[in-house]
């Protein structure tokens, strides 16, 4: 069965500190993984996807098939990074995107 696990409900860090938001997945095929972000009072929006191997707003995420993980990392957190972050897994047909429970990132000065 498809499942996305984000073990941390809340992650609080100081500005300038490194950030790692954990995501583990369970999927029998080749996964397509995404990170979505929801800033306060804004809609859910795509942050990055593993297929692009991109860095957005300083965030990166590497797919580790051995550990079935797709952790989101940023070396130096900024206050504007404070938001809810969702890891998501798409089924192979692309017909459903399954979300984890989300992690609230709080960056304080």
Partner 1 sequence: EPEVTQTPSHQVTQMGQEVILRCVPISNHLYFYWYRQILGQKVEFLVSFYNNEISEKSEIFDDQFSVERPDGSNFTLKIRSTKLEDSAMYFCASKVARLNEKLFFGSGTQLSVL
Binding positions for partner 1, rule: CB under 8 A: 32, 34, 36, 42-46, 49, 51, 86, 90-91, 93-102
Q: Which is nearer to partner 1, 15 or 97 (CB)?
A: 97
Q: Give me the least distance between CB of 98 and partner 1, in Å please.
A: 6
Q: Which is nearer to partner 1, 25 or 86 (CB)?
A: 86
Locate 58 and state its tokens: 């300083």
| HEC assignment per residue over 69-105 | ECCEEECCCCHHHCEEEEEEEECCCCCCEEECCCEEE
């Amino acid at each position: 069965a498809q499942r996305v696990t984000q073990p941390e409900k809340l992650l609080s860090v100081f500005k300038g500190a490194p950030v790692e938001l954990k995501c583990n997945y369970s999927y029998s095929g080749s996964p397509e993984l995404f990170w979505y972000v929801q800033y306060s009072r804004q809609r859910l929006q795509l942050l990055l996807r593993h297929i692009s191997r991109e860095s957005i707003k300083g965030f990166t995420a590497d797919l580790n098939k051995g550990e079935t993980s797709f952790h989101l990392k940023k070396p130096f957190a900024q206050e504007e990074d404070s938001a809810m972050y969702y890891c998501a897994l798409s089924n192979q047909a692309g017909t459903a995107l399954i979300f984890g429970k989300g992690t609230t990132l709080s960056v304080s000065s």
